[in-house]
Amino acid sequence: TYCYQQGTSMASPHVAGVAALIREMHPGMPQGAVAALLRSSASPLSCPATWPAADPRHCSGGSGQTSFFGAGMVNAANAVAH
């Protein structure tokens, strides 16, 4: 059976690319600061309102930090604007 999934296999290369853009703009920025900037510049995502109650995968948290979306969707424009 096949189904639509999203997760780290798609998120990782996108976040790594944005991290590279940040390091290009700020070559001396420590890795912890790069990670903090990635989190703070992400576009927040809330748990899906229509998620089936019977589904064993439960989303918890509020806008800006959820068990499904972490800090949200990486936002390259926000990240390099800082």
pLDDT in tens, 2-46: 666 667 777 889 999 999 999 999 999 999 999 999 999 999 999
DSSP-derived 3-state class of residue 11: helix
Task: Give residue-wise pLDDT tens across range 41-64.
Answer: 999 999 999 989 899 988 999 878
- pLDDT score of 64: 80
Cβ 72 vs Cβ 45: under 8 Å = yes
**Kind and range of the H or E run holding 61:** strand 61-62
> Of the candidates 4, 3, 80, 79, which has an alpha carbon nearest to the alpha carbon of residue 43?
79
**pTM above threshold 0.85:** no
Cβ 48 vs Cβ 77: under 8 Å = no
- pLDDT score of 1: 67
- pLDDT score of 18: 97
How much is the average pLDDT of 60-75? 90
